Amino acid sequence: MKNKFIDFCALCFRTNKNGLSRYYCEQHQPKTNLYNLDRSKLKRISKDQFSKMTGHIEKIRFLSRELDTLSPSPSYLLEHTRKIRQNGMLSFEPAFRLIENEYGKAYMKLEKGSFSISFPSRWVLGYLVRLGYRNEEVQSIINEASDLDLFDIVVIVSARYEAYRRLQEHFPDRRKNKTEIQLSETERSKLMSLIKSTPLKPNGRICRKTLGEVMGTSRHKAGRLINKLKQNGDIDGDF
């Protein structure tokens, strides 16, 4: 997405200023895992169009444009809403409505209630940081921006962020996330009490299905909780 404020990474919404390559952000450096994954996703979306590109730079720019197509373009909407002013000052309300209607994933980071018309630059900086930018990446851009520029930055970045999130949703990671289970002392004591009151199987092991029913959860989650207690040494490994 070509704009005068932020040089986007070719594969996401971040700035390309912190990477070793002039076209990519720090996380999308060539040959890294994330670079390969997201580049592959965009190539799949473009189908046979990517193979028609010839030069290296042309291919990079093509993939960046493909990413832009995954969310509504801000150009037309900006052209109309940026002209709205209230008491001689730019009103951010059109931007809030635009993001809510068109860029729902970005809107979740908006924190509209914290906006202050007296300090719009501070709010915009906070918004960009919540999206995933580092303060030092965008501070100078914000400092040099007028109110009208700030309005544009909010919408342009929201559109690019939305596009990247939609890319991830289009190709979800189907690998199982192994989330570490953390138990508080109260939860541990309650679980231990339930285990002691649950009848054992003939082989002396706790029945995961029965424990799950007592807990109101699945046998699989009950099994994971038992494994956690084993790891902590709260119950015997053969239990």
What is the residue-level pLDDT of the chain in tens, covering all 239 positions? 678 888 899 999 998 876 577 899 988 988 889 999 999 999 998 878 888 888 899 999 999 999 999 999 888 778 777 666 655 566 677 778 878 888 989 888 887 777 776 778 888 888 898 888 888 888 889 989 887 788 889 889 999 999 999 999 888 765 544 455 666 667 777 778 887 788 777 766 778 888 878 777 777 788 888 777 766 666 665 55
The C-alpha atoms of residue 227 and residue 42 are separated, in whole angstroms, by: 40
Q: Is residue 180 part of a domain?
A: no
Regarding whether 195 and 132 lie in a shared domain, the answer is no
Distance of alpha carbon 25 from the chain centroid = 15
Regarding whether 163 and 204 lie in a shared domain, the answer is no
Domain count, the chain: 2
The C-alpha atoms of residue 59 and residue 51 are separated, in whole angstroms, by: 9
Measure the CA angle with vertex 64, ends 130 and 37; round to 5°: 75
Q: Is residue 212 part of a domain?
A: yes
How far is residue 147 from each of residues 67, 122, 154, 180, measured CA to CA in Å? 28, 11, 11, 45
Q: Is residue 239 part of a domain?
A: no
Parent domain of 215: 185-231
Q: Is residue 236 part of a domain?
A: no
In the structure encoding, which two tokens stand for residue 37, read together?
Answer: 């994954």
Regarding whether 189 and 168 lie in a shared domain, the answer is no
Are 101 and 193 contacting, i.e. CB atoms less than 8 angstroms apart?
Answer: no
Regarding whether 211 and 162 lie in a shared domain, the answer is no
pTM of the model: 0.68
